[in-house]
Structure 1
Amino acid sequence: MRVSVQSQDFDLATALHGFGTAKNTGATVTFTGLVRDDTGQLDYMEIEHYPGMCENAILKIAQDAEQRWGLTDCLVIHRYGKLNVGAQIMMVATAGRHRVDAFDAATFLMDYLKSRAPFWKKEVSLGGASSEWVSAKDSDETALKRW
């Protein structure tokens, strides 16, 4: 298991090198989230966190996922700092004996990262005309309730 909270971008192939190689692994699932611009007015997103606290919180939930779904490997990378539209913001990879376990664990981790991980996100519009902290969404809370 590996958890990384970092400012620098990551390379998917490098991050996944050697991932899920246990002999009893039957499936791996990966997901990469990108900064998207739903309005056509987003310049960039600024993500803040408390070092140490953030990594520990993500590690705890990754350990929970590993135990609940019997994962053979787990990887979470989440970035912070100024991220332009289209930039990779996070990655989750899970490996398990069966595909359902790997998919469920990955979805669980993504739902947690979206709604509970201690990050604060601010969207800054083109030209710096406005900036707004991103609020929690009801749909994210609903998704988390299934777990």
Structure 2
Amino acid sequence: MKDLPVFEGLFGGGKSKSVVQDITASQDRIAFLLARDVIDISDGEWGNREWVELAVNHELDPNEDLRSSTQAIVLARHPNRHLEALGFRLSAQTKMELAGLRAKMDAAGQGRWTIADIVLDRGGTYTFSFRHEDPPRINGDLLHMPLKGYLERYNAR
């Protein structure tokens, strides 16, 4: 089951169902690619960990699709160990798919989003949310880390 709150009622009255289906298919593809990307952790080796949930904050330059900044966290654990938060890298293919999603949404009249927040659990449920504001890291705030403390917030649910 997918949670797509950003699209509820969005394309009612005249917008083609195929546009919504195309955007949903892009989100499905990105979720698949993210699930594949999680093992490319920033520090160390993946080993025998299993992941539980991932979160991504992806910024795109308002005027340039190839300039991006990403914070990506995966919550994972070795068998019989505590859950840990690990940074991981998005593949070039995933970044291209995100830029493609923005282009599709822009063509559908939704504008060029600059920030995408994505959460995906191991069961396949995902959420995408989009903002159209200045992307902090791209604009020089290299310490902007909205996913800092993600494990603690997850554990507090």
Report the TM-score, using the length of structure 1 for normalisation: 0.31
Bigger relative CO (Cα 8 Å, ≥ 6 apart)? 1
TM-score scaled by length of structure 2: 0.30
- More strand as a share of residues: 1
